[in-house]
């Protein structure tokens, strides 16, 4: 079945450090890929998305590139801030899959001064 694998957290970084959160997927078709962010006590917010191979999604300094050859969608940010502390979820929707999201387990990011 379809699945998403994320690196385990928590990830703790100093402010202005470079961030990478790995995400790989397994899918029988051609999925759209997403990163969602969840701040403490809140629901999920769409951070960025990519719908086809080689697409790059970007938002708020975060970016991720859809790599079909490595089935990956790693999240990166050049300089993190304390306000980026949250849980990040990688997810996919399979075309023709009833619009259901398949989530990774989430990676908690903590940014310290």
Token readout for 25 is: 């997927």
For residues 73 and 70, give the distance between their C-alpha atoms in angstroms, rounded to a whole number: 9
Beta carbon of residue 44, minimum distance to other proteins (angstroms, whole number): 4
What is the end-to-end Cα distance of the chain in Å, rounded? 41
For residues 41 and 55, give the distance between their C-alpha atoms in angstroms, rounded to a whole number: 31
- Site string (68-87) toward other proteins, x via CB under 8 A: --------------------
Residue 84 phi, psi (nearest 5): -85, -5
Tell me which stretch binds other proteins (CB under 8 A): 19-27, 37-45, 61-69, 75-83: 37-45
For residues 31 and 93, give the distance between their C-alpha atoms in angstroms, rounded to a whole number: 5
Residue 14 binds other proteins (CB under 8 A) = no
- Nearer of residues 19 and 44 to other proteins, judged by Cβ: 44
Q: Which of 51, 54, 56, 69 binds other proteins (CB under 8 A)?
A: 51
Instruction: Kindly list the residues in this chain that would bind other proteins in the complex (CB under 8 A).
Output: 32, 34, 36, 41-46, 49, 51, 89, 93, 98-101, 103-106, 108
């Amino acid at each position: 079945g379809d699945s998403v694998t994320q690196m385990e957290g928590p990830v703790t970084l100093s402010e202005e450090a470079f961030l990478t959160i790995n995400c790989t997927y397994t899918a029988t078709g051609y999925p759209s890929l997403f990163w969602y962010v969840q701040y403490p006590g809140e629901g999920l917010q769409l951070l960025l998305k990519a719908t086809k191979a080689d697409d790059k999604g970007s938002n708020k300094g975060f970016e991720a590139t859809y790599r079909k050859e490595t089935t990956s969608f790693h999240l990166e940010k050049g300089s993190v801030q304390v306000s980026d502390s949250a849980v990040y979820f990688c997810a996919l929707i399979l075309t023709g899959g009833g619009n259901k999201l398949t989530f990774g387990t989430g990676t908690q990011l903590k940014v310290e001064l």
